């Protein structure tokens, strides 16, 4: 077990590679009860969520989910999150475990002039992610939850249980939010069925990395804006206002000084978080944010935040790994194709 965001979390059960392959090829599950949940209700709920969120919740249908960020005035990221629209005047936010305290303080602070009620429900909910091409069938057979009519990024309430077609693996799958005892029961039933492999944080990271999904703290932070991270599609600059809008609009027009890119190495050495990226001449131009030898494609690749002038595809760069320097080139920061059911 390893400490993560204030929780003791398993890195692996049967092994990272084994669990990773189970999710890519069949079905795996993650106990992600550490994630935080905040409920926002009241007359100004929609307008308030739009104030703190980069994506646009106006016109969202009930049962729809949007991904986006909460930003500081300077465009740096407080957190990335999912917003579930339960009903008019009722929004459910899912935030990162390590950021719960910071986010909760931020959400409360911004709400002063709005007619909203805020509730940090992080301790009320457990969460289970069932992921992989067989997730829909396994969930139906073992838990009697029929997700077949849920579209990607939508959710449904089954009594007090929230079931959404979402995930963090690049595969089809579902996330279930419910009181912890129910989540425990689901876990035990799925284990007993033998059809769903328990998965730890290790393969959660390798899976999300391969399909280029960002992790707060690596690819997004107070210093890394969504524009730098290439996530501008989740920033709706045509909205009337939101926190960070001016800074992000300016950055989009002027172009960021640094950009998040993918880099592929010719060699098998693994570029890891914090390693220095160098220009062909050997000058430091940035840092690796996440790197692996990918399990699905057998390549040494990383995401890295580097000077914009080197960020074009196929640009030659180098990475310092321990005492040696390895040549690589800029590639798309998606190393494996997503396999969502839309």
Considering only residues 52-111, where is the footprint of another protein by CB under 8 A? Answer: none
Q: Does 249 bind another protein (CB under 8 A)?
A: no
Residue 217 zone, left/alpha/beta (φ > 0; ψ -120 to 50; rest): left
Give me the residue label for tokens 């398993």: 10
When the beta carbons of 47 and 269 are compared against another protein, the nearer one is 269
Going by C-beta distance under 8 Å and a sequence separation of 6 or more, which residues neighbour residue 68?
Answer: 53, 54, 55, 80, 81, 83, 234, 235
Q: Does 16 bind another protein (CB under 8 A)?
A: yes
Strand partners, 77: 71
Among 11, 86, 161, 331, binds another protein (CB under 8 A): 11
* Binding segment (CB under 8 A) for another protein, from list 14-22, 149-157, 185-193, 219-227: 14-22
- Count of chain residues binding another protein (CB under 8 A): 18
When the beta carbons of 149 and 322 are compared against another protein, the nearer one is 322
CA 35 to chain centre: 11
Q: Report CA torsion sign: 298, 303, 306, 310.
A: positive
The helix or strand, by DSSP H or E, that contains position 320, with its residue range, turns out to be strand 316-321
Among 126, 202, 212, 214, binds another protein (CB under 8 A): 202
Residue 49 zone, left/alpha/beta (φ > 0; ψ -120 to 50; rest): alpha
Q: Does 15 bind another protein (CB under 8 A)?
A: yes
Q: Does 282 bind another protein (CB under 8 A)?
A: no
Among 252, 293, 329, 338, binds another protein (CB under 8 A): 293
Among 98, 161, 269, 331, binds another protein (CB under 8 A): 269
Are residues 3 and 10 in contact, defined by beta-carbon separation less than 8 angstroms?
Answer: no
Q: Does 280 bind another protein (CB under 8 A)?
A: no
Q: Does 301 bind another protein (CB under 8 A)?
A: no
Nearest approach, Cβ of residue 191 and another protein (Å): 22
Number of H helices, E strands in the chain: 7, 19
Are residues 331 and 313 in contact, defined by beta-carbon separation less than 8 angstroms?
Answer: yes
Among 61, 109, 112, 322, binds another protein (CB under 8 A): 322
Nearest approach, Cβ of residue 15 and another protein (Å): 6
Footprint on this chain of another protein (rule: CB under 8 A): 11-12, 15-17, 202, 206, 268-270, 272, 292-293, 295, 300, 321-322, 324
């Amino acid at each position: 077990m390893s400490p993560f965001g204030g929780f003791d979390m398993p890195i692996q059960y049967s092994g990272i590679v084994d669990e990773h392959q189970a999710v890519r090829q069949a079905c795996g599950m993650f106990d992600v009860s550490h994630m935080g949940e905040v409920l926002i209700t009241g007359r100004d709920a929609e307008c308030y969520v739009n104030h703190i969120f980069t994506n646009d919740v106006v016109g969202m249908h009930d049962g729809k989910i949007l991904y986006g960020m909460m930003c500081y005035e300077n465009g740096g990221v407080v957190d990335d999150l999912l917003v579930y629209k339960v009903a008019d005047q009722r929004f459910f936010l899912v935030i990162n475990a390590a950021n719960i305290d910071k986010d909760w303080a931020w959400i409360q602070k911004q709400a002063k002039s709005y007619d909203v009620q805020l509730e940090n429900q992080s301790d009320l909910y457990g969460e289970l992610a069932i992921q992989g091409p067989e997730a829909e069938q396994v969930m139906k057979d073992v838990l009697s939850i029929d997700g077949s009519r849920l579209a990607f990024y939508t959710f449904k309430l089954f009594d007090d249980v929230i079931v959404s077609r979402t995930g963090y693996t690049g595969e089809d799958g579902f996330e279930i939010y419910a009181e912890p005892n129910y989540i425990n029961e689901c876990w035990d039933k799925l284990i007993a069925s033998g059809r769903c492999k328990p998965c730890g944080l290790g393969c959660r990271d390798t899976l999300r990395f391969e399909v280029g999904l960002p992790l707060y703290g690596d690819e997004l932070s107070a210093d890394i804006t969504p524009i730098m991270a290439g996530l501008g599609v989740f920033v709706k600059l045509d909205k009337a206002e939101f926190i960070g809008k001016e800074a992000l609009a300016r950055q989009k027009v002027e172009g960021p000084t640094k950009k998040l890119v993918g880099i592929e190495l010719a060699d098998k050495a693994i570029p890891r978080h914090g390693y220095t990226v160098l220009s062909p001449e050997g000058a430091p131009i940035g840092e690796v944010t996440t790197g692996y030898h990918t399990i699905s494609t057998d390549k040494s690749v990383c995401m890295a935040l580097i000077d914009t002038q080197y960020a074009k595809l196929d640009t030659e760069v180098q990475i310092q790994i321990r005492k040696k320097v390895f040549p690589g080139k800029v590639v798309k920061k998606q190393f494996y194709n997503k396999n969502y059911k839309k």
